[in-house]
Amino acid sequence: MNHDELSALADPTFEQYFLVSPEKLQMLFDAAGIRPDDSVLEVGAGAGTVARHMPPCRTLTVVELDSRLIDTLRHEVPQATVVQGNALQIVPLIPHDVLIGNLPNVVTEALIDILPELPFRTAVLAAGRHTDFSRLQSTFDVSEVTTISGEDFRPPQPSVSRIVRVARRGR
């Protein structure tokens, strides 16, 4: 899918900006540290621009709320199990070693609340500049990987967000 087609698919109601920067995708995957025997779960998978470049892993499950994008995800990421629904309800039901997400900020805030109950080794999440991860610091190492904005996305994202790595200590 080219950049014009991605932009045409995006629905601002769902804050749909699709990450296309090869450099930022590589930084995301480096931070995730995906191993060939990992189960990977991506939430808010959009049109599959992240998932289609996912490094080799044992299983890949992608979750997307917008039912319009489900056929696109099945086409773009044929190796993935595609699930339509709300990430906050689905994430606790799917075992995973690595969690990747670029969700609207309000959803990410709610996801952070449930992170301690999830099984992942490493999570890599896009978050707003002011999203508060401090509540995780007793259990996880939290570090900023990079910032993402504008031309990193199609359509260009008007705001600046951060990619944040959350790693469970001792794993």
Ligand X SMILES: C[S@@+](CC[C@H](N)C(=O)[O-])C[C@H]1O[C@@H](n2cnc3c(N)ncnc32)[C@H](O)[C@@H]1O
Would you list which residues are annotated within the binding site for S-adenosyl-L-methionine?
A: 19, 44, 64, 102
Which residues touch 60 (CB under 8 Å, ≥6 apart)?
A: 39, 40, 42, 51, 54, 77, 79, 80, 81
Q: Which residue's CB is nearer to ligand X, number 6 or number 167?
A: 6
Pick from 101, 104, 108, 138: which is nearest to 123 by CA?
101
Task: Show contacts with ligand X in window 5-64 (CB under 6 A).
Answer: 14-19, 43-46, 49-50, 63-64
Q: How far apart are CA 57 and CA 42, in angstroms?
A: 12
- Least Å from the CB of residue 119 to ligand X: 19
Instruction: Compose the 77-96 pattern: x for residues touching ligand X by CB under 6 A, - for all others.
Output: ---------xxx--------
> Under the rule (CB under 6 A), what is the footprint of ligand X?
14-19, 43-46, 49-50, 63-66, 86-88, 102-104, 107
